[in-house]
Structure 1
Amino acid sequence: MTHQPAEGLRARRRRELMGTISEVALTLVAERGFSGISVQEIADAAGISLRTLFRHYPNKDAIFGGRIEQREEQILARLRERTPAEPLIESYLYAIDAMVDDYMADPGEAERELRVLREVPSLRAQYLVPSPEHETDAMDEALAAKLGCATTDARLSLLRRCLVNAVLQAISTWQRADGGSDLRGDVRNLVCLFAPMVALIKNSGTLCQFDTTLAPILTSDARHGEARNDGRAGLGRR
């Protein structure tokens, strides 16, 4: 059994200070919004100099991006705990369950984090729901291993975005109900909507094979469209 090296005093202090800066920044955002605060105000509220803050974070976006990255690392670590045979949807629900617990215990934390994501789409795209152009990361690799597809598969990126947005939608609904709804149940219901998509990806093989499953639907739509056009043409001749 290998033992992880103990965290050094300097590393622990750095981690704790970064956590303090992040908490202070989120509190200020809850009061005035992302655009209503400056890096200097965050430093002042944290009781540190601007130079000290910049030693830990290069800009304001990075302060909040770091918080989102921590969430993703937590989810990824829990996802890796699951067995390869477990259905991806069940593994994903387990992976995000700790975050759901945190939000249910502290609804204010959920509100602060989601407000940043709503007000700064670039943060959401960079750290939480990567754009189609993002470089492959550890989350892509974990999901691809569960699906049995390549990390470059376009369907993987689409599925990841769908799952994240399902969770965000459930949290938003829960917040609008002032925490009166069943957050865990709402998350499960929305995430499970994508179980057929997961099955289709796992069973269809390559992207080209996946596309051919849509052929009957597209052909049917095209025929209906032609029929509608013929009908309009007939009306025009009358």
Structure 2
Amino acid sequence: MTHTETGSAPMGRRERKKAATRRAIADAALRLFLERGYEAVGIREIADAADVSTTTLFKHFPVKEALVFDEDTDQEARLLAAVRERPDGRSIPAALREHALGHRMTAPGGDARFVAFSQLVNSTPALRDYAHAMWLRHTDALAAVIAEESGRPADDPACAALAHFALEAPRTARGHDDPRTAITRAFALLENGWQGLDGDG
């Protein structure tokens, strides 16, 4: 289907240009942060590296921390799809566990650039706190999908609790020698309850 057929040529071109500018800014910021450290890099330096004005930079990224996290919308879409598109017979907690285990942070053999990115975030308190707050913003959307998929009321507190704890669970992997086991253990609690954990009384 062509842009002419959809009648969206001007908007499509404009959106593509905006997306390219946003990506150039984010790429320049991450490169500088990885080279010199988050605190050592200023906004003007990033704008210069991306060949944009600081005004343009702030139109795309209202705060400095946001420069590091450019895939929030995509992350939420993948999170919700993990629940909606789970295979027959797979529980919602199990689907969320598999989604968490599929993240590059916990997958074995992650690429060097992402390892460096993770180290940057985990070693910078401002980025670590921002990432956590940003991730928890998906709680309401995830709770709604859980309620929808399980046939429960939209305001069911159990759905909200499962959404919240499922989003918190990956934090148990931070600094753990075996992040996959840490995450699996956390989701076993969500799936089976405390009494269902082997060896716990």
Partner residue, 2:53? 49
- In structure 2, the residue corresponding to 1:137 is in which secondary structure? helix
Q: Structure 1: which amino acid aligns with 2:133?
A: Q
* 1:80 Cα deviation after fit: 3.0
Partner residue, 2:3? none
| Alignment check: 8 A CA contact 1:65 1:123 kept | no
| Alignment check: 8 A CA contact 1:103 1:110 kept | no
* 1:91 Cα deviation after fit: 1.7
Task: Tell me which of 196, 199, 204 is aligned to 2:188.
Answer: 196
Residue 37, structure 1, aligned to residue 41, structure 2: yes
- In structure 1, the residue corresponding to 2:39 is in which secondary structure? helix
* 1:123 Cα deviation after fit: 0.7
| Alignment check: 8 A CA contact 1:27 1:112 kept | no
Q: Structure 1: which amino acid aligns with 2:43?
A: V
Give distance in 1, aligned partners of 2:117 and 2:48. 19
- In structure 2, the residue corresponding to 1:26 is in which secondary structure? helix
Partner residue, 1:141? 144
TM-score, reference length from structure 1: 0.59
Give distance in 1, aligned partners of 2:18 and 2:109. 28
- In structure 2, the residue corresponding to 1:198 is in which secondary structure? helix
For 1:112-191, list aligned pairs within 5 A. Answer: 112-119=117-124, 120=126, 121-128=128-135, 130=136, 136-143=139-146, 150=157, 153-154=160-161, 156-162=163-169, 164-169=170-175, 173=177, 186-191=178-183
Residue 8, structure 1, aligned to residue 9, structure 2: no
- Give the total of aligned pairs: 182
For 1:82-121, list aligned pairs within 5 A. Answer: 82-83=86-87, 85-96=89-100, 99-100=103-104, 104=109, 106-119=111-124, 120=126, 121=128
* 1:41 Cα deviation after fit: 1.0
| Alignment check: 8 A CA contact 1:76 1:139 kept | yes
Change (3 A) 1:195 1:153: same
Partner residue, 1:61? 65
- In structure 1, the residue corresponding to 2:25 is in which secondary structure? helix
Q: Gaps (5+ residues) in structure 1?
A: 174-185, 204-216, 218-238
- In structure 2, the residue corresponding to 1:58 is in which secondary structure? coil
| Alignment check: 8 A CA contact 1:79 1:94 kept | no
93-102 vs 29-38, greater mean Cα deviation: 93-102
Q: Gaps (5+ residues) in structure 2?
A: 1-5, 196-200
Larger helix proportion, structure 1 or 2? 1
Aligned CA-pair RMSD: 3.8
Q: Structure 1: which amino acid aligns with 2:36?
A: R
| Alignment check: 8 A CA contact 2:139 2:164 kept | no
TM-score, reference length from structure 2: 0.68
Task: Tell me which of 3, 24, 27 is aligned to 2:28.
Answer: 24
